[in-house]
């Protein structure tokens, strides 16, 4: 999805935003332990349901 002109001026383009996001995730997870709990995430189904309601409404 392309960014509008105002967002490009603020963020300097999508490539920089993507790179910044990747850098933040890298900093947060570097030398960290990722623990898998074995439970289902509620976030993805909830987000999908919200998107479906918004599309239908």
The pLDDT of residue 22 is 83
Position 52 scores a pLDDT of: 95
Distance of CA 4 to the CA centre of its chain: 18
Both tokens assigned to 36: 């898998």
Note the pLDDT of residue 1: 46
The answer to whether the pTM exceeds 0.85 is no
Q: What is the pLDDT along the chain (57 residues), one digit of tens a residue?
A: 454 555 555 555 556 667 788 888 888 888 888 788 888 888 889 999 999 999 997
Do 17 and 11 contact (CB within 8 A), yes or no?
yes
At 36 the pLDDT is 81
- C-alpha torsion sign, points 10, 14, 24, 54: positive
C-alpha span between 38 and 26 (Å, rounded): 23
């Amino acid at each position: 999805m392309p960014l509008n002109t105002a967002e490009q001026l603020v963020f300097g383009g999508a490539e920089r935003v993507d790179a910044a996001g990747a850098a933040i995730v890298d900093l947060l997870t570097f030398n960290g332990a990722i623990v898998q709990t074995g439970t289902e995430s509620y976030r993805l189904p909830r987000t999908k349901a919200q998107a479906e309601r918004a599309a239908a409404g």
